[in-house]
Amino acid sequence: MSELKKIRLNLARTREFPNGSNRHGYEFAAPLDAEGHIDVEGWKRLRANCRVRRFWADEQEDLGHLVHRPGGSWAFRYDIAGDEDDEAGYRLGDHAFVPGEYVSIRDEDGDLHTFQVVTVTEP
């Protein structure tokens, strides 16, 4: 049985941020299995608790949910009404969420950014 974890992702190094940035990223809750992968069955049970917070420097924070989309991909959805684009994770179901690992997320503008898993803690 998976446990709900709080995961923090910080922007990895880029041309604009050669050391990465702890002011750009995500914090989200997801059920993880023993290897650190998102657990689909756990998500089905706990989906209301699978929240996300997007922080991006001085921009207003976005709050939403982790969603499992048709076809098996994962995304962050900020507008439950559905008129804002999701921010899709690149193969998030294949990645282990353990500190030091990297994941990529495509933002609502279609730009792909790489993030480092900084912490995985109890919510």
pLDDT digits (tens, 9 = 90+) for 72-123: 899 999 976 555 678 999 888 899 999 999 999 998 888 999 999 999 999 8
**Residues whose CB is less than 8 angstroms from the CB of residue 58 and which lie 6 or more positions away in sequence, other chains included:** none
How far is the C-alpha of 112 from the C-alpha of 89, rounded, in Å?
A: 9
Average pLDDT over every residue of 4-16: 96
**Res. 50: pLDDT tops 90:** yes
Number of independent structural domains in the chain: 1
Q: Which of 7-16, 40-49, 65-74, 78-87 is predicted with the least confidence, judged by mean pLDDT?
A: 78-87
How far is the C-alpha of 54 from the C-alpha of 27, rounded, in Å?
A: 7
65 falls in which pLDDT band (50, 70, 90)? very high
What is the pLDDT, as a whole number, of residue 79? 75
Domain span at residue 52 reads 3-121
Secondary structure E strands in the chain: 3-11, 21-32, 51-56, 62-68, 74-77, 87-89, 102-106, 112-121
**Res. 51: pLDDT tops 80:** yes
| C-alpha torsion 72→107→78→20, nearest 10 | 110
The neighbouring-strand residues paired with 104 are 114
